[in-house]
Homo-oligomer: A and B are copies of this chain.
Amino acid sequence: MKKLFLFFTIIPFIAIAQNQDSVFIKKISDDIFTNGKAYDLLRELTKNIGGRLAGSPQFAKAVNWGKQRLENLGADNVYLQECMVPHWVRGAKEKVVITEQNGKKINISLEALALGNSWGSNGKPIVADVIAVKDFSELEKRKDEVKGKIVFYNYPFNPTYIFPGQAYGESGAYRRNGASRAAKYGAVAVLVRSLTEATDNNPHTGTMTYNDSFPKIPALALGLYDADKLWRIATNQKVKISITSFAKFLPDTIAHNVIAELKGTEFSNQYITVGGHLDSWDVNEGAHDDGTGIVQTMEILRVLKSLNYKPKHTLRFVLFANEENGMRGANKYAEEAEAHNEQHIFALESDNGGFTPRGFSLGMNSEKIAKIKTWANLLKPYGCDNLELGGGGADVTPLQRNMQTPVAELRPDNQRYFDIHHAKSDVFENVNKRELLLGAVNMAALIYLIDKYGL
């Protein structure tokens, strides 16, 4: 009887609360779709600043822009958090040329980009025979042929995965570790098929890592048409290639996370973080990666101020430095949080592109996931009710790792992402305004619910 009584008293209470929440979330949505600034902010960031690799003058410019915009949006305070970042530079345009085919001199240029954090050839051509392999297993079988050669990995981006991120994870091993795996057997450089199934020939850069035990040889990505062409030639003929790359590291340099706060009215020393990464690759405008995460973060601040929402917890809007080739900004943020014994109840990131949102990937225990799932019906009208265990984004993971902070990441539709990811086509024109704003709506809704009910 008691239980029944509880049932009848609690259910209407929950219903009323959810109705209030649904009304407030509709206000968030209406305000964002009517007055949203994310799209204009993205135009500023991509068109006025453009590519902004950590350590570059463009990144410093983006930091100033971000600070000023967050101040204009009415944050209680905005500050910069200094961190040292790797200072990798591409230098002049890299060149990859097929110079000889079966002993005959030719001159076929291939579309290529040095991988991020790779060392170049000091601007001098490296000319060598090519050994084309499909994967590491073929490399191992043919390791005795590798010495003095350029290894070309043509591992395909599997089109049959419905979630293309899975193909990216799989083929990513060649970009990340291909150079040292080949250098171990005496290779002088590597070429990697770009991690994409785009219908164009744009090469896709991205970070790579050397194993310090082996020589740090140049590593470059090839566009798909040219990867296919090279594969056709090099798998049955003797091919010489000339690679010239100017990539190098300068000494580590200073960069900054940009942090804005809305002070909590009840639990001002408990933090909810939302953010994206301000840095991008140098060869594009960093529109989907991760300009959209940056301006969605700003949009959430804007809409909460516009609706005169007073958060219970302190909300932090963070533009992280150096996600692409070092993670130094995110690590710094987590270190400082730990050093100051900050209590972080939740951290949310958007770094999967500004496409139509489908849900949130949740990095937290099952009890908290169950709590978030009770809000699925509130997010469903906005298309974002896929709420499943998964990782948070790269920039909130250090908080989770160091301080067990529950984390999450926006999960937009993934079909188009790897067509433009880390390629020159990641530009403002490829972002759709409504898709971008709808992501901000759902992120703001989740922040609101967690701020109101805790986690």
Contact = CB atoms under 8 A, between A and B. Distances in A.
A356 to B, nearest CB: 5
Contact of A199 (B199, B358, B383, B433): B433
Closest 7 pairs between A and B when the two form their complex, measured CB to CB? A33-B159, A415-B434, A30-B160, A415-B435, A33-B160, A356-B413, A416-B432
Interface of A: 29-30, 33-34, 39, 159-160, 162, 164, 197, 199, 356, 358, 381-383, 413, 415-416, 419, 432-435, 438
Contacts of A434: 159, 164, 197, 415-416
Choose among A30, A39, A413, A432 the residue with the greatest number of B CB atoms under 10 Å from its CB: A413
A199 B159 contact: no
13 contacts: A29-B160, A29-B162, A30-B160, A33-B160, A34-B159, A162-B381, A162-B383, A197-B434, A199-B433, A356-B356, A415-B435, A415-B438, A416-B435
Nearest to A435: B415
Q: How many copies of the chain does the oligomer comprise? A: 2
B34 A415 contact: no
A197 B167 CA distance: 34
Contact of A415 (B30, B199, B416, B432): B432
Nearest to A36: B159
B162 A382 contact: yes
Choose among A162, A356, A419, A434 the residue with the greatest number of B CB atoms under 10 Å from its CB: A434
A435 B412 CA distance: 14
A143 B235 CA distance: 77
Contacts of A30: 160
Contacts of A199: 39, 433
A288 to B, nearest CB: 13
